[in-house]
Structure 1
Amino acid sequence: MQATLHETILRQPLADCLKRPPAAGLMVHWLGQAGFVIDIGGLRLVIDPYLSDSLAEKYRGTARPHKRMMPPPIGADEIVHVDLVLCTHTHTDHMDPGTLPPLLSKNPGARLVVPRAEAVQAKVRSGLHDDRLVLARAGERLLPLPGLEIVATRAAHERLETDADDNHRFLGYTIRSGRICLWHSGDCIPFDGLEAEIAALRPDIALLPVNGRRPELSQDGVPGNFTLDEAIAVARRVGAADMIAHHYGLFDFNTEDPARIDAAAAATVGLNVHRARTDVVYASHL
């Protein structure tokens, strides 16, 4: 029996929700862009958190100033009881030097999972030493905590890239505890072999970006992701029962229309499509 997600509107600030330790089962909170807090099997994981204005500071006065369309739903130092933080790649909205140090300082027992190809950047941006880093290679099965299995998967953003040692620079992760398995694709577009690779890992839930690709952005060095239609097709083909559509609503030059996501969710049969929202918790008790 596959895990399925139920949506519940939050009646309190996210920081108040996360003051409680993680419980059994699954609870997923969206942090904006590709960031999530995932409570699974009594553990708390945070993936790709971007909770600062690092990019607005970097691009102030440019043609794309990276001003936030939505505020962070929580401060980095307000997320507690964290066991593991994961980053899929080094783009700042996924491996943020404004978020990782306060988050990891507040949670001194937490380790950071990053692509092996990006170990140097991970140390620079997080301030961590080797003993708190977990280096992941595509195809590798990690057992970082009791009852938790993570498999690093290849991602193409917009192409597959490796370092001199054939370590992939862009990753996704499947996260499994008990009978529940999530797949966070990282920033990714369709590529040959992707669906077979992920289907073999039997994800129940797919967390997929839907902001798509635009030639004018690619020409300026801003790579894209799945379109909404591609994400739905990929989620179906890998066998997921639920998909959470994310990576929208943060930067006005690189987003997707929420109304279009909602319309696709209403029209899709055989797959439960959820639009990521910061005022909703997605839960399963399987």
Structure 2
Amino acid sequence: MRPTYKSGEELLKEIQMTDMPFGSVAVWHLGQSGVIIKGGNQDGYIVIDPYLTFSIEERSPNTEFKRGFEPPLTPEQLTDASGILITHSHDDHLDLETIIPIAQHSSHTYFALPVPDVHVLEKKNISSKQIIGAKAKEKFRIKGFEITPISAAHTNYERDDNGNDRYLGFIIEVNGVTVFNCGDSVVTDELISDIKSYRPHIAILPINGQDYFRTSRWIVGNMNYRDAVDFGVTIGADMILPVHYDMFANNRENPAYFVDYIFHQYPNQKFHMMVPGERFIYYK
């Protein structure tokens, strides 16, 4: 199991001490799709899709989904988070073994997730006052963060009987910077239309793709490296941060393909490849 770039108390102290001036944000990569976003101290910080345990393989020892590196933080180290955003209910995004300890140790942290999955947290006795049922295009606020959920297609749009999306991305506006976290999705005309008007400064996009053999094993796919780059350019993102390529050996993509494609097709497009535990500083 490979080491992380930075972890534990050292990483936690860095998060707590980081205070960004207006027009900038800090992003930390937690592995898979997990990220932390922070502006100024007054804004607090949010965490998106944290998978910080070994729960998948502990629950199913024969699974092909086995972590390739240690979690950079424990759930208990995130109890000062202002909010946890969950894009959908797959175990590497909605990890109850990560969520429950945070809720048990923090009465001020909000948990936002698609409306069809709210009952999952309610059944674990998480206070309804801390749960935000997220609906596409219905804005909500967590401390200094204005957040707009966006419908996502993983690999299709799926909705409950009331028309509520089961998969979401999030437009996140904080400290003068706009970030789009796609969650798990493929590219669609609707997604392009929804995001293009925002012209996000940062687009956080999955690049692990999909193929026949993974689909035949019920592994739900995403945009691939080429889709992610073309989509990021089309929506006018200043910076593309790829994710969902590093944790599980059975469901990832070589990020060198992403870099090579940008180099040949869009040599002026900004991007950054993050490693787990790394802080990336963005100034618009």
TM-score in terms of structure 1 length = 0.89
1:34 aligns with 2:21: no
- Please tell me whether the aligned partners of residues 229 and 258 of structure 2 are also in contact (alpha carbons under 8 angstroms): no
Deviation per residue, 1:29-69 (Å, 9 max, x gap): 0000000111024320001000001111233124x2x2111
- Please tell me whether the aligned partners of residues 76 and 102 of structure 1 are also in contact (alpha carbons under 8 angstroms): yes
* CA drift at 1:124: 3.5
Where structure 2 has 5 or more consecutive residues not aligned to the other structure, the ranges are none
Tell me the secondary structure at the aligned position of residue 18 of structure 1.
helix
* CA drift at 1:13: 3.2
* CA drift at 1:116: 1.1
1: distance between equivalents of 2:220 and 2:10? 33
- Residue of structure 2 equivalent to 1:6: none
Where structure 1 has 5 or more consecutive residues not aligned to the other structure, the ranges are 1-8
1: distance between equivalents of 2:176 and 2:69? 34
Which amino acid letter does the alignment assign opposite residue 38 of structure 1?
Answer: I
2: distance between equivalents of 1:197 and 1:94? 23
Deviation per residue, 1:55-113 (Å, 9 max, x gap): 11233124x2x211121111111225311110000001101011111223343211101
Q: Structure 1 stretch 233-242 or stretch 193-202: which is displaced more?
A: 193-202
- Residue of structure 2 equivalent to 1:223: 220
Aligned positions of 1:191-270 closer than 5 A: 191-267=188-264, 268-270=266-268
- Please tell me whether the aligned partners of residues 189 and 226 of structure 1 are also in contact (alpha carbons under 8 angstroms): yes
- Please tell me whether the aligned partners of residues 169 and 182 of structure 2 are also in contact (alpha carbons under 8 angstroms): yes
Output the aligned Cα RMSD: 2.1
- Please tell me whether the aligned partners of residues 22 and 43 of structure 1 are also in contact (alpha carbons under 8 angstroms): no
Q: Which has the higher helix share?
A: 2
- Please tell me whether the aligned partners of residues 152 and 171 of structure 1 are also in contact (alpha carbons under 8 angstroms): yes
2: distance between equivalents of 1:148 and 1:249? 28
Deviation per residue, 1:227-274 (Å, 9 max, x gap): 001001111111100010110111111001133344345444232121
1:45 aligns with 2:46: yes
- Residue of structure 1 equivalent to 2:61: 60
Tell me: CA distance 1:221–1:37, structure 2 relative to 1, closer, same or farther (3 Å): same
Aligned positions of 1:1-286 closer than 5 A: 13-20=10-17, 22-24=19-21, 25-41=24-40, 42-62=43-63, 64=64, 66-124=65-123, 127-145=125-143, 147-267=144-264, 268-286=266-284
1: distance between equivalents of 2:86 and 2:56? 17
1: distance between equivalents of 2:185 and 2:263? 24
TM-score in terms of structure 2 length = 0.89
Which amino acid letter does the alignment assign opposite residue 132 of structure 2?
Answer: V
Tell me: CA distance 1:278–1:264, structure 2 relative to 1, closer, same or farther (3 Å): farther
- Residue of structure 2 equivalent to 1:5: none
2: distance between equivalents of 1:283 and 1:107? 27
Which amino acid letter does the alignment assign opposite residue 140 of structure 1?
Answer: E
